[in-house]
Amino acid sequence: MLDVLIAGASRGIGLGLVRAWLELGARVHAVARRPDASAGLIELAALHGDRLQPIACDLNDPAAGERILAALGETRLDRVLLNAGIYGPEAQDVVVVGEAEIGHLFLSNAVAPLRLAHALRPLLKPNSVLAVTSSVMGSLQLSLGAGMPLYAASKAALNSLLLTWAAQLAESRDFALLALHPGWVQTDMGGSTAPVTVTESVAGLVAVVEAAAGSLDCRFVDYQGETLPW
């Protein structure tokens, strides 16, 4: 049975990923700030309780890695999805944004996921997959982030940290690394007019992650399997 850890699992795409892997028969370790306050996780626990381990953790907490390792115990992981993210300040403007807001955005979207990736590294099985949820907005070459420059910069920073980690791991890496673009998705962040449903995005993301298992890929890829330029 696959062991899948999904961080940022309370709602939106993360909750959809939890549901999808449970339906595939996996054991899912779902990290959320307040699992007991997530209607979606409560519903899934009632359906698949024996295969769903909720882990309460704010991913920005400096002790997040330690807390999650303690909850996992002897578990070893086949798939890790570091999905949590925030949009950041409404005013996406370097001129007006405050120090605390900009720090919180880059901590949430770039630093915390890579910190957790480092912490979970010893638990990854050979041929596993570690994926972060990035965004096409983070592509420097495509440069699509004019309407949301701070969010785009935070996802570019996430991609950069993932790539430099891959370079540091070099030959010692025996698992795939993915930066995923989920599409523009109907969630609290994406809004109700987004063209892609959570179900469609998640079905594509699961297929992309499963296809990478057993490879040494390090790719920026969308939910339809298209490679994106960094």
Ligand X SMILES: NC(=O)c1ccc[n+]([C@@H]2O[C@H](COP(=O)([O-])OP(=O)(O)OC[C@H]3O[C@@H](n4cnc5c(N)ncnc54)[C@H](OP(=O)(O)O)[C@@H]3O)[C@@H](O)[C@H]2O)c1
Measured from the CB atom, the residue of 90 and 188 that comes closer to ligand X is 188
Regarding 139 and contact with ligand X (CB under 6 A), the answer is: no
Q: Which two tokens stand for residue 41?
A: 């996780």
Regarding 135 and contact with ligand X (CB under 6 A), the answer is: yes
Regarding 92 and contact with ligand X (CB under 6 A), the answer is: no
Residue 61 and residue 37 in contact, taking contact as beta carbons nearer than 8 Å: no
Query: In which region does residue 214 sit, left (phi positive, over 0), alpha (psi from -120 to 50) or beta (all else)?
Result: left
Identify the residue among 2, 56, 69, 86 touching ligand X (CB under 6 A): 86
Measured from the CB atom, the residue of 144 and 216 that comes closer to ligand X is 144
Applying the rule CB under 6 A, the residues between 103 and 122 that interact with ligand X are 108
CB of 47 to ligand X, least distance (A): 19
CB of 204 to ligand X, least distance (A): 13
Q: Which one of 54-62, 95-103, 169-177, 208-216 is the stretch in contact with ligand X (CB under 6 A)?
A: 54-62
CB of 14 to ligand X, least distance (A): 5
Measured from the CB atom, the residue of 104 and 125 that comes closer to ligand X is 104
Measured from the CB atom, the residue of 176 and 205 that comes closer to ligand X is 205
Q: Which amino acid is at 162?
A: L
Q: How far apart are CA 60 and CA 21, in angstroms?
A: 25
CA quadruple 4, 7, 9, 13: dihedral positive or negative?
A: negative
| Nearest C-alpha neighbor of 219 from the set 125, 139, 122 | 139
Site string for ligand X, 142-181 (x = CB under 6 A): ---------------------------------------x
Q: Which two tokens stand for residue 53?
A: 């381990």
Regarding 12 and contact with ligand X (CB under 6 A), the answer is: yes
Specify the pairing of strand 27-32 against strand 3-7: parallel
Measured from the CB atom, the residue of 23 and 36 that comes closer to ligand X is 36
Q: Which two tokens stand for residue 216?
A: 């040494």
Q: Which one of 42-50, 72-80, 186-194, 221-229 is the stretch in contact with ligand X (CB under 6 A)?
A: 186-194
Identify the residue among 10, 92, 139, 159 touching ligand X (CB under 6 A): 10
Identify each DSSP E strand in 182-229 by its residue range: 218-222
* Per-position DSSP letters for 154-222, written without gaps between them: HHHHHHHHHHHHHHHHGGG--SEEEEEE--SBSSTTT-TT-SB-HHHHHHHHHHHHHHHTTS--EEEEE
Q: How far apart are CA 131 and CA 113, in angstroms?
A: 10
Binding residues for ligand X, rule: CB under 6 A, are 8, 10-14, 32-33, 58-60, 83-86, 108, 133, 135, 181-182, 184-185, 187-190, 194
